[in-house]
Structures are given as C-alpha cells and as structure tokens.
Amino acid sequence: MTIHIPENDFGQIRVFATDGPLPKPVLDKTPDGLRQLLGTDALDPTFIDIVKVDDLGPMVLSDYITQGYDMPTADHDLAAVNGIEGFAILILSSAARGQAVILQPANGVRHITTYVPDARLTPVEPLTAKSAEGIIADPPAKPAKSDARIGGMIAMYALIAMFLLVGLMIWVAG
C-alpha cells in the first residue's frame, strides 16, 4: 500500500495501526526506525506520535485525538479508530515539512483513517448598528507650536548662553 502526502498538506492527521510490538528505533522515532516503519525518513519525527493504546487507560483513542489535537472525529471512523489494539501511529501534516512525501508502510502497519479539519467558512454579516456607519477620517494633523512655547524655547536658550558666559568668565578670572 502506498500513501501520498501532497505538497503543502495542512491540518490532517493520518492514523495507522499495528498490533505487534515495535522495535526500539521505531519507538525512538530515529530515521532508520521511520524508514523501517513507513518506508521513508523524510518525515519530521517531532510531528509523529506513537501511542501505545493500553497506556491511555480508560480513554479511547478517538477521545485522545479529539482532546489532544483538537480534531473532531467522524462517526464513520469511530469504531475503526477505537478498535485499534497495540500501537497507533499518528502522522500530522506538519511532519512532511511542506514537501510531497510517499509513505510505504511496512507489513503489519495499516492505514485506518485520515482526519481532515472542518473547513466550513461562515459568511460575514454586514454590521447594522448606527455606530458602524460613517467614514474613518484621516488622523488629525500635528498642531502648530504656540507663541508661549516658542517664547519659552528662546528663554531657555538665553539662559544656557548666560550660564556658559558666566562659566567662561569665572574660568578666565581663576
């Protein structure tokens, strides 16, 4: 079985199952382990989750996916996903790093389903409140400097000049 992950794939979770025990390189998600399990090492192991179903306790795998990945489950996949025994391998779209990847799962690894995010768009309703009407004006221009401000600046410069002149006179006299 060959599974194609298209270029720029986004938001999907591919669920695989295997009943047998997995070797340590696979559980550690090493490049050799991923090549052995999925037929490729082009995936980012950060975005691959290998779940031992028995470790979930009373939680079923579909609840784990719903709560852990915020992905709604489809009713037609519920029985198949919750029926996984052994290990579940969850491959997020981000694992492909935006590249097209071909998966060739090893014998005993089977593809159960692919979770696809709900992409329903809601139309924007026009705003009907009176406060939503009108035109946004340009920001107000910077006000001109007042006469008092200009006079204060001149007085400050005069005080600085007098301070420097007095300092120079004391230094020369000293």
So what's the pLDDT on residue 73? 75
Structure tokens at 66: 């719903």
**Does pLDDT of 38 surpass 90?**
yes
So what's the pLDDT on residue 40? 92
Rounded distance between C-alpha atoms, residue 98 and residue 171, angstroms? 74
Q: What is the mean pLDDT of residues 120-142?
A: 75
Lowest mean pLDDT among 51-55, 67-71, 103-107, 116-120: 116-120
Could you tell me the pLDDT band of residue 79, with boundaries at 50, 70 and 90? confident
Q: How far from 91 is each of 56, 72, 97, 133, 165, CA to CA, in Å?
A: 18, 16, 12, 48, 79
Could you tell me the pLDDT band of residue 115, with boundaries at 50, 70 and 90? confident
**Does pLDDT of 47 surpass 80?**
yes
**Does pLDDT of 17 surpass 90?**
yes
- Over residues 87-110, the pLDDT tens digits come to 999 999 999 998 999 999 999 999
Q: How far from 168 is each of 107, 154, 157, 158, CA to CA, in Å?
A: 95, 21, 17, 15
Rounded distance between C-alpha atoms, residue 128 and residue 99, angstroms? 45
Burial of 93 per CB tally in 10 Å (0-12, 13-18, 19+): buried
Lowest mean pLDDT among 95-109, 110-124, 150-164: 110-124
Is the pTM above the cut of 0.85? no
So what's the pLDDT on residue 101? 93
Structure tokens at 92: 């997020």
Which residue shows structure tokens 């996916």? 65
